[in-house]
Structure 1
Amino acid sequence: MENFALIGVGGYIAPRHMKAIKDTENQLVAAVDKNDSVGIIDSYFPQAHFFTEFERFDRHIEKLRRENAGREVSYVSICSPNYLHDAHIRFALRVHAHAICEKPLVLNPWNIDALQEIEQESGKRVNTILQLRLHPSIIALKKEVEEKIQSEPGKMFEVDLSYLTSRGRWYQVSWKGDEQKSGGVATNIGVHFFDMLAYVFGPVVKNICHVRDAETTAGFLELKHARVRWFLSTKSEHLPAEVKEKGQTTYRSITVNGEEVEFSGGFTDLHTRSYEEILSGQGFGLADVRDCINVVHDVRHAEIHALTGDYHPFCRKVEK
């Protein structure tokens, strides 16, 4: 049984990490969050020590390590706001623990370079959650694409990615609405999709941005084996009419050569699967995230192109 600590236990994604820790028969011994509405801990690890001040949490983790009585923390799970991931990964390595960090691992490509140096010095590993790589539908798609490329090396696929997840007014007031802290819409809700696309279709050749504001980002990616039109939004007005009529607030669609890739289900246990891979030494590390971090960084700083050539049809919704 490994001992875990968790940073950001009051956040939306933290329960998935606690469930994964419990499902893999490990123990959460300490958690920290500046907010104290964290009763969800009782459903998983009621005996975990909880802190609202990072300094006291830091002291506790260091004390456990120095006691050397089998109570030291082996893994630090990081569910904090995006802009703090880099610092919290460094903390994990400093206390001689492996890091397990939510997406996006970092906001900028150069952060990866610095973390690689610290990782080598520490002898510990930085892991990230790229759960779409473990989704059965994506695994099947990757296999299908690889088989077609084997017989047709120059094959190019036509891909449309649409992800709309409605957010209320709170979103722009929170850290998620601050581009300096979240990286913007493309980073906050899209980075794992960009990772999945590069994982399946190969590295990025061209990256064009057509729309970028506080609620919506869209563009065109040319990958080694795919042309991708993509659209990401947190604005409910952009939902397709049929989705609104059903009272749904989220729309997720990926089509490859006009055929829908069904992956609406199968998300329930992907964090547990991720933890199983990490604990067996097969998790996704710093090198795995470079493509997707480059994409979202470049989108954040790209010149906005007019709606000509290949662009997602939903871009016209933004003009209205």
Structure 2
Amino acid sequence: MTWINSLKPTISTIHPRIEGNNICTWIGFKHVMYVVEEAIIDFFRQNDLRQRALYEEHGLCLEIVDSEARILHALHIDDQVRAEIDSDPEMDIDGELRLLVNVFAQRGEQEVKAVVCRVGVQIKEDDSPVTADIAASPVEALGPITVKTIDREPTGDLSKFMNLAAATPDLLDGRGEINGEDPVVAALKELHGTSMVWAWRIPYFYCHYNERMKHSGYIRHLEEAEDLFLASNGISIRKMLHDKKWIPVVPTARAQLLAEAMMEETLYTVYTLVDTYRDFTYTHAMNCYVVRDGKLVQTATGHITHGYARINDRTDWSLVAFDDDTKESIHRNLVKAD
């Protein structure tokens, strides 16, 4: 996109948030990706395209629709990281601004590249019923990436699944239902094979611009799906910590928005184990759906790779191979190729 030349590269200084610290002083993958989100918002801010002004004055909503992160070095509490953002020379997708984010952290006397993340951004015209009486007004510089609705290509053919009715979890159902018996779950298991299917009501605090599930909501959701997968396979993170000094670690993760999911809709998340590597890591695909007019609509897709690390002391850890129990629990869920 030639218009990207009018947007200058930026450098942002960011501290990872304390919420992302769960084990020793390390920051979990979710908040590593939140650092990238903050850097993206600051990229627009430094280019005089502030998120608040875009929304309040123009009715335009800044949407991160794709993020794929590789975590090369762990981030810690009290790190002050430097995030450099420029256009992504390897990605050119019509209707999206593609950005490359490199995050650097200080380790002793040396600065290391800690995270590399490829990001896609769109600007969506506000159509919330709350503010529908005020029409969106365009910003010329953002015209090539401004859309009326988020409508990106789904990952599979959903046309044969018709006349479906979504389950309607009660407002107090909490974490929802795993592998329920409603017809939507059956359709998704037919589509994806051996998978965990999780039906869950979207709460307001996963949303933005009044009612639409946002990118960071899907990042949270990706972590929650992994926790439910482990629990459903009898793998206790606390027991691993106490008995083996093991913790889950994430070297790569990706979340893509494909369509819009709304507050209090039932989101069906299909969590599929697609790969293991030398008994050191395993990769899940996450695909999310809602039901509208009896049809499946895919709202998001993503993947996440996990391994396990042994805590050596308060400052150091090392990657470990799966033991027999962990290997058996994980491998029995692996989708076999046809």
TM-score class, shorter: under 0.3
TM-score by length of 2: 0.25
User: Taking CA–CA contacts closer than 8 Å with sequence separation of 6 or more, which of the two structures ends up with the larger relative contact order?
Assistant: 1
Name the one with the larger helix percent: 1
Name the one with the larger strand percent: 2
